[in-house]
A and B are shown apart, each in its own frame.
Chain A
Amino acid sequence: MSQPKAAIIGVGELKPCRVTNGASTLGMLAQASALALKDAGIHKSDIDGLLVGPQVGETPQHVPATVAEYLGLQPNMANVVDLGGASGPGMIWRAAAAIEAGMCHTVLCVLGNHRNPEVPRSPNRNPIREFDVPFGASGANTTYAQLKQAHMAAFQSKDEDFALITQWARHNAQYHPHAIFNGKPCDASDVLQSPLIAEPLHLYEIVMPVAGAEAVIVTSVERAKALNKPAAYLMGAGEKVTHRALSQAPDLTSGPLKPSMAQAFKQSNTSVTDMDLLSLYDCYSIMVALTLEDSGICPPGKFGDFLRHNTFGYDGSCPMNTHGGQLGFGQPDLAGGMTHVVEAVHQLRETAYGRQIRSAQYALVTGNGATLSEAVALVLASEKVALDNLGEGQ
């Protein structure tokens, strides 16, 4: 049995939208934080730790102090977690570690961004800017298209296999009222008929960028037990950063999530088949394919067969991204990775109204950043499982 490391006692989420008019990142973070605080049923004065993400264009430096001041917090631990789409899951174990180290007891983890008409770009002068951008390779579409191509070449995987990933994401989005594609299901043929953006990636294999914010409150197991509502518990975590530019990647058909997930399973004394929910980072169809294969739930190159032989709704044989994933929910910038945490918490607390998995005990959450290069995996458990493991359940 493994012991729970920390508990997630509150989550807050803004409904994503395509465009904001003059909203500030700080304001959206504050709204999501207030929702998480209310959900947790604690007071603002209980929060003594703060983890935030980078805020390009609005607050280039001193981000934690800026957010803390805006929220009227004076935290005993404050930091930026800068792991792209892995930032959200990366915050959860860092919060647990800070609590374990005695630096604080209750940590607010918050990410979000607006989508005002003018897009800020920070000037940079690093190897990607010098050796990728001048060749017309700007942005993530180029990267993940090359990863999809590499997978298709290595394993003869087909466009039809990848299209199923979007089909299921859109299917699940029909059960989440906040999802940007709620009311807009699509099937595999719609995916294949959507325009090519970066061959072989079609438009519907790519997340829709949205404005939004997600907040999560992490506290100690002892404090969570004293609250009168169930929490979700962190049982294991793994993290790995391998490169920045895709040309420097050690492998194009397997990523750093492989060792990250292996460590999270080891720490939690679980395996992928114990998971009642796969909450897998899905910036692109190829990301889900690689994560399924790296998790060991199917052999390398065989995600297509796995998708055809299972169902992935909340009531399916292998519930996956029951909030729609980012392909169905939308990608609120860096908060996109946190949507996978928030959904796992809802499922494990049985607050996923209208899409509740029956007696979910374990969830795998993954985050991925940059070019298949920044990875975090978490194993979360329900309160019953976590407290049983503590030796204090019934």
Chain B
Amino acid sequence: MKSFDFAPLNVPGPTKIPLTEPFWQAAANGELHMQYCECCQSYVFYPREICPCCWSDQLTWRQVTGQATIKTYTTIWKPGQPGWSAVTPYTVGIIQLDEGPSMLALLLLEPEQLEVGRAVCFKTINIGGQLMPAFTIPEDNHHDK
């Protein structure tokens, strides 16, 4: 298994706000949490003040399974943010969680493992000192701490 070491990167971290703090806190603890709308019973990503589906403010935080499917991906050779040049080529993609929402994520798969429709799972990695969510093959479930 190729090891991905993003810890030394000097790149922009997340611009957290109080509303989004539970997402980042959970990720740092090796868990993936999402908002859930108690009104229309749907998961919401990214975190919002109201549900984008029904405009209810009855949003609570729930842990999700972290099981997801790759919708698409790209392997980046020339990053838009120069700080990422140290780890090229790296892969990002859009994954759809089994609970419904889609999100952009770093994909920690070997080139031959990359495939639209492939099942992946959540793991926590260290990017530039921040513990962040990423997705990988189900066998690789060790969280960075």
Chain A interfacial positions (CB closer than 8 Å to B):
125, 127, 129-139, 141-142, 145-147, 149-150, 153-154, 195-201, 245-248, 252
- Assembled-state Cα–Cα distance A131/B19 (Å): 13
- 17 A-B pairs within 8 Å (CB atoms) are namely A125-B17, A130-B14, A131-B103, A134-B13, A135-B105, A136-B11, A136-B81, A141-B78, A142-B92, A149-B72, A149-B74, A150-B116, A195-B78, A196-B75, A199-B76, A247-B94, A252-B71
Chain A residue contacts of B11, Cβ below 8 A: 134, 136
- Assembled-state Cα–Cα distance A115/B136 (Å): 40
Interface size on B, residues (CB 8 A): 39
Knowing A246-B104, A247-B102, say if A146 contacts B80 (CB, 8 Å). no
Shortest beta-carbon distance, B126 to chain A, in Å? Answer: 12
Considering only CB atoms, which chain B residue lies closest to A134 in the complex? B14
Partner of B76, one of A130, A136, A245: A136
Interface residues of B in 66-107 (CB under 8 A from A): 71-81, 84, 87, 89-90, 92-94, 102-106
The reply to whether A199 and B116 contact each other, CB–CB distance below 8 Å, is no
Considering only CB atoms, which chain B residue lies closest to A132 in the complex? B104
Considering only CB atoms, which chain A residue lies closest to B127 in the complex? A134
B138 CB–A CB distance under 8 Å: no
The reply to whether B74 and A134 contact each other, CB–CB distance below 8 Å, is no
Knowing A136-B76, A136-B79, A150-B72, say if A130 contacts B20 (CB, 8 Å). yes
Shortest beta-carbon distance, B118 to chain A, in Å? Answer: 10
The reply to whether A136 and B92 contact each other, CB–CB distance below 8 Å, is yes
Shortest beta-carbon distance, B63 to chain A, in Å? Answer: 18
The reply to whether A247 and B103 contact each other, CB–CB distance below 8 Å, is yes
Chain A residue contacts of B115, Cβ below 8 A: 153
Considering only CB atoms, which chain B residue lies closest to A138 in the complex? B80
- Assembled-state Cα–Cα distance A361/B116 (Å): 43
Partner of B117, one of A130, A135, A147, A153: A153
Interface residues of B in 129-145 (CB under 8 A from A): 130, 132, 134
B15 CB–A CB distance under 8 Å: yes
Chain A residue contacts of B2, Cβ below 8 A: none
- Assembled-state Cα–Cα distance A195/B89 (Å): 13
- Assembled-state Cα–Cα distance A140/B46 (Å): 20
- Assembled-state Cα–Cα distance A215/B141 (Å): 55
Considering only CB atoms, which chain B residue lies closest to A131 in the complex? B46
- Assembled-state Cα–Cα distance A200/B93 (Å): 13
Shortest beta-carbon distance, B132 to chain A, in Å? Answer: 7
Partner of B74, one of A127, A198, A248: A198
- Assembled-state Cα–Cα distance A196/B75 (Å): 9
Shortest beta-carbon distance, A136 to chain B, in Å? Answer: 4
B18 CB–A CB distance under 8 Å: no
The reply to whether A142 and B76 contact each other, CB–CB distance below 8 Å, is yes
Shortest beta-carbon distance, A249 to chain B, in Å? Answer: 8
The reply to whether A146 and B20 contact each other, CB–CB distance below 8 Å, is no
- Assembled-state Cα–Cα distance A115/B113 (Å): 40
Residue of A133, A137, A199 with most chain B CB atoms under a 10 A cut-off: A137
- Assembled-state Cα–Cα distance A134/B79 (Å): 12
- Assembled-state Cα–Cα distance A139/B132 (Å): 20
